[in-house]
Amino acid sequence: MIRLFVITFVRHTIIATAVFILIMAGIPCPAEAVFNKHTDKDFEFSLFIPSQWQRKEDDLYYKKIITLQSTDGAEIRITAMRYSEKEKSKWNSWKEWYLKNIGNSMMEIIETDTVKIKKEIEGKLIVFEYMSKQGKMMQRVLIARIKENIIVIECKAEFQQFYKFAPTFDRTMSSLEPH
């Protein structure tokens, strides 16, 4: 009974967070969070990223990956790639391969929904929990298409810490726009 209550509570919280992203797009996070605007001219997008998080960039020509890590272990990974027929079929069947990479550690898919961010961007929002070496994790993924590119924003943190970072995750995801 308690487990059912917790699962229902978490699901409603996740849905409320997704609605929050859509309604509050562009509203800054609490004063302690400082953001810089990142613009990628090759993949034609921009978004706000936390400036105090450690940043690593990988440019593979056909794909760019930006990994941001907080000192508390939260992570935001932004991947941009061309929207080819191969990528289109791959992302249309994301459950078959994306969640398979998590393997037996997958605990539950909490939410999947199609969301609209700004008027020209629509994406797929996925929220799930899984076990890792750090313990129970929660991850929110946004898969969006901008012009001829796919932008994937993955936000994850330990389950107990996830809501501490939710405003930062919300700000980054909701600020995605074409450039």
| Mean pLDDT for the chain overall | 80
User: Is the backbone of residue 147 left (phi > 0), alpha (psi -120 to 50) or beta?
Assistant: left
Share of the chain above pLDDT 70, in %: 72
By CB atoms closer than 10 A (0-12, 13-18, 19+), residue 118 is middle
Cβ-contact 79, 173 below 8 angstroms: no
Q: pTM for this structure?
A: 0.78
Higher pLDDT, 108 or 72: 72
User: What is the mean pLDDT of the segment spanning 28-56?
Assistant: 85
Share of the chain above pLDDT 90, in %: 44
| CATH 3.10.150.10 correct for 2-178 | no
pLDDT for position 17? 53
pLDDT in tens, 46-73: 999 999 999 999 998 889 999 999 999 9
Q: Which of 162, 110, 159, 161 is nearest to 137 (CA)?
A: 159
Q: What would the 3-class secondary structure string for 28-94 be?
A: CCCCCCCEEEEEECCCCEEEEEECCCEEEEEECCCEEEEEEECCCCCEEEEEEEECCHHHHHHHHCH
Tell whether the model's pLDDT for residue 32 goes beyond 50: yes
By CB atoms closer than 10 A (0-12, 13-18, 19+), residue 100 is exposed
Domain map (residue ranges) of the chain: 2-178
